[in-house]
Structure 1
């Protein structure tokens, strides 16, 4: 069984028929919508966020169709599927035998993973050529923003150009020390003076890995590196430059960041609706996103302690994560208040 099929089965198992299969696509693609962001927390799928940005709707439908024909799934409505009861124990064993790679943290690092990889791969290529006093190469990254970043960074580094490669190698060895994932998953992708990096598919073939498992393992290594560098930047003389512009709230979308600015200035929801000329539901979506991203944001400013207690109790006693099901049990509570509690406490509910 391909690892992508295992991931989709895991997601459907977690969602238990409460979302369509396209909710999985939105999670794996990394869709920046309030619903998707809340879903990854409610169903404990944060690690998989934006893990397969190129997965298409057709590819997902093909995998689901195969799983259905193989009797893994039971259809309950348009694009809604449950795990077949007769195969749940088999699936649980399958998931235990095929764990997600350690260190994978898609939600936490999705905003900086691709920029980090572009900077890292281009820096390594250029450093390799500089060590041989060569300036003839075709950049592995064509993104002009990344190229400009490298030019500015090279100008700011106070070391000899032909020494950069040595210090970068030292940083890499230090950063990857102790990782439980095969470093070749990353190393095989790197281009240097005399080596051309492999594509994702080529690297997976070289290492005899399932392509989907390779993709997740590659991301896990990048996330491992980012975590290490952020936790102790001073230890890495060059790698620290690759995420030096990381911001505390880098995961907030632009529109949500504007709403959050107004919240911090003391404006309430109704005032922000009027100022920004947006629907109340849109501002509420922004607040849910803030709750999911900013741990210190006070949930009690949106829902009373008494309602939080009752909503949490209802969620714990219900086998469903459906807002409608919870709302039916709490007539005096709004859908927004339920979403607020799910957003703040969803991972532990």
Structure 2
């Protein structure tokens, strides 16, 4: 079975028919909508966020169709599927035998991953050429922002240009020391003065690894490196340059960040709706996103303690994450209040 099928089955298993299959696409693509952000927390899929940014709707449809034909899944509504009861045990064993790569942390590092890779791959290429005083090469990264970063970095580091490759090699080797994933998954992609890096598909073929498995392993290595560098910046004098300007403990979409600023100034929901000229539902979406990213945000300012207990108990009794199903049992509770509780306590419920 392809690893992409296993990933999709894993998502379907956790969602249990409570979202459409296209919710999975939004998660794997890394769509920054409040619904998707809430879903990855509720269904414990944060690690997979933005893991396949180029996956298309048609490709997902093909996988779903195949899984349906192979009787892995059962259709329960329009674009809603659940795992076939007869194959649940088989799936659980399959997931145990094919776990997601360690260190994969898509939600935490999604904003940093691509810039980090572009910076590292370009600096490796340039350092390799500088080691032999060669200036004739085609940059592996054409992003002008990345190229500008490189120029600034070369001017700021206090290392002879012909020696940069030695320090960079030392940093990378040290950073990857002890990682459980084979570093060759990363190094096959790097370009030097005498060797051209492979594409993701070429590397997967060369290493005889399923393309989807390769993709997650590659991203997992980057996430491991980013996490290691952030935790020990002084130990990686060159690599730490690659995360400068990218580190953020709170990952909020631009519009939500504006709402959060107003909340911090003491404005309530109604006032923010007026000030920003947005719908109340939009501001509520922003608040849900804030709850998912700011642990210290006071949930009791939004929902009473009594309602929180009732909502949590209802979710536990129903074993459902469906807002409609939960609301039917709690007439005096609003959808927003349910969403607030799910956002704050969803992953543990």
TM-score (norm: length of structure 2): 0.99
1:235 paired to 2:241: no
Q: Which residue of 2 aligns with 1:44?
A: 44
Q: Which residue of 1 aligns with 2:330?
A: 330
**Offset at residue 249 of structure 1 (A):** 4.5
**Mapped contact 2:38–2:343 kept (Cα < 8 A):** yes
2:299–2:344 Cα contact (<8 Å) kept: yes
Note the C-alpha offset of 1:250: 5.2
Distance in 1 (alpha carbons) for counterparts of 2:81 and 2:25: 14
Q: Using the TM superposition, give the Cα deviation of residue 324 of structure 1 relative to its aligned residue in structure 2, in angstroms.
A: 1.0
User: Contact 2:20–2:81 (CA<8 Å) still a contact in 1?
Assistant: yes
Aligned to 1:58: 58
Structure 1 residues 152-163: aligned runs within 5 Å: 152-163=152-163
Matched, 1:3 2:3: yes
Q: Following the alignment from structure 1 to structure 2, what is the Cα–Cα distance between the partners of residues 346 and 132? A: 55
> Is the Cα–Cα contact under 8 Å of residues 111 and 250 in structure 1 kept in the other structure?
no
Asked if residue 182 in structure 1 is aligned to residue 182 in structure 2, the reply is yes
Q: Which secondary structure state, in structure 2, belongs to the residue aligned with residue 75 of structure 1?
A: strand
Shift of 1:251: 1.9
**2:112, 2:247 within 8 Å by CA — same for their partners in 1?**
no
1:127-183 alpha-carbon deviations (Å, 9 max, x no partner): 111111111110000000000011011111111111111111110011001000000
Counterpart of 2:210 in structure 1 is 210
Following the alignment from structure 1 to structure 2, what is the Cα–Cα distance between the partners of residues 289 and 150?
A: 34
- Contact 1:171/1:236 (<8 A) preserved: yes
Task: Kindly report which structure 2 residues correspond to 1:94-105, keeping only aligned pairs within 5 A, or say none.
Answer: 94-105=94-105
Deviation at 1:247, TM superposition (A): 3.9
In structure 2, what is the equivalent of residue 24 of structure 1? 24
What TM-score, normalized by structure 1, do the two folds share?
0.99
Structure-1 residue corresponding to 2:268: 268
State the aligned residue count: 349
Q: Return the offset for 1:295.
A: 1.5
Q: Does 1:196 align with 2:228?
A: no
Give how far 1:318 is off: 1.2
Q: C-alpha root-mean-square deviation of aligned residues, in Å?
A: 0.9
CA contact (8 A) 1:103 1:223 kept: yes
Aligned pairs (5 A) from 1:121-140: 121-140=121-140
Contact 2:250 2:294 in 1 (8 A): no
How far is 1:287 from its partner?
0.7
Runs of 4+ in 1 over 6 A off after TM superposition: none
Structure 2 unaligned residues grouped into runs of 5+ = none
Q: Distance in 1 between matches of 2:297 and 2:105?
A: 22
- Corresponding residue of 1:290: 290
Task: Provide the rounded CA distance (Å) in 1 between the counterparts of 2:128 and 2:103.
Answer: 28
Contact 2:111 2:246 in 1 (8 A): no
Q: Residues 60-119 of structure 1: CA distance to partner in whole angstroms, max 9, x if unpaired?
A: 000100110001111111111111111111111100110000000001100110010000
Q: Does 1:259 align with 2:259?
A: yes
Cα deviation digits, residues 216-248 of structure 1 (max 9, x gap): 000000000000001111110100000011343
Contact 1:129 1:135 in 2 (8 A): yes
Deviates further, 24-33 or 322-331:
322-331
